[in-house]
Amino acid sequence: MRNLLFLSIITVFVSGCATTVKLPTTTNQTPEVSGETGKGHIGLNLSPTVSVTTIEDVTTNPPTRTKITVNEVSGDLFDFLFGGFAGTSFDVGFGLLSRLELYYTPTIGLRFQWLGDPKGNGWKSTLFAGGFDSTQTQSASANSIDTQTRSRPYGTEYGLSLGYRKDSKLLVYVTFASRGGKASIQVENSTTSNTYSYEDNYDQYMGHIGVQGGEDIYFRIEAGATSVNWRAMSSATSQEISDSGVQSSYTLGAGMKW
């Protein structure tokens, strides 16, 4: 399955010694499809991320890993300046059948409109399901120790979007989604030539209300919340460590249909 998924690579250089995994706070889903084979849309959505600290210090030997922290506020300058847009992503939909659409959000999946006319007004609803696989890379240095950490969250998402199209220019909707799976984490210590590998598990739940306006050129705004539960093994006690958190979120988007 991994070979069928789009692999997005995010490279972040940090000055601290902790490892964080950043998760999206929106699914970029709406309750309607293009309604015709070959029709679709492309958009750009600005949103924040949820930050999960999975390793406290990667420069120790072995890495210090005694707790998990969800929603920890980063002291990194990059996050301070651009953290509100760290979840920015493209959103693409391509019609396969009148009610079935292939999507990339950057999860790759299928969206099926089971309620309402894809090209009409009134109540509408879609069911969606897909898979994701991404890699996030961080480098850290301390006390003449250089490390590189690769975190690879991968898994599946599924959910439902329900809404009402008042006319050709206004769509109001709510979206609920479950997203999660595993995170493969590998720490490479170039100074000692040691490599440490971990396999974590996590669940993520999202709920949003959104408004989309416009026709061929559209604009979108969403507000909601996302919940994360992360589970791992402590390097000190070999016992399970975990943390949960809820973060409010927003999305500002724009795009075009063809």
77 has pLDDT over 70: no
Alpha carbons 257 and 101: distance in angstroms, whole number:
14
Q: Hey, what are 70's tokens?
A: 């969800």
124 has pLDDT over 80: yes
The model's confidence at residue 8, banded by pLDDT at 50, 70 and 90, is: very low
Say whether 167 sits in a helix, a strand or coil: strand
Query: Percent of the chain, pLDDT > 90?
Result: 72
pLDDT tens string 97-119: 999 999 999 899 999 999 999 99
Q: Residue 133's beta-bridge partner residues?
A: 7, 154
Q: Residue 126's beta-bridge partner residues?
A: 113, 161
227 has pLDDT over 80: yes
122 has pLDDT over 90: yes
238 has pLDDT over 90: no
The mean per-residue pLDDT over the stretch 114-141 comes to 96
136 has pLDDT over 50: yes
- Sequence-distant (6+) residues with CB within 8 A of 129 are 109, 110, 156, 157, 158, 159
Shortest CA distance to 211 belongs to which of 25, 31, 23, 24? Answer: 31
Maximum distance among all Cα pairs of the chain, rounded to whole angstroms: 64
- Which amino acid, residue 25? T
* Predicted pLDDT at 166: 97
Where are the strands (E) in 5-144, listed by range?
Answer: 7-13, 19-24, 40-46, 49-55, 69-70, 89-95, 100-104, 108-115, 122-142
| Domain spans, the chain | 2-257
- Please tell me the pTM assigned to this model: 0.87
- CA atoms in the 13 A half-sphere facing the CB of 151: 24
pLDDT tens string 156-194: 999 999 999 999 999 999 999 999 999 999 999 888 889
Q: Hey, what are 102's tokens?
A: 């292939």
Q: Which fold has domain 2-257?
A: Lipocalin (2.40.128)
DSSP state of 62: S
Alpha helical stretches, state H, the chain: 77-82
* Predicted pLDDT at 143: 76
Q: Residue 222's beta-bridge partner residues?
A: 210, 251
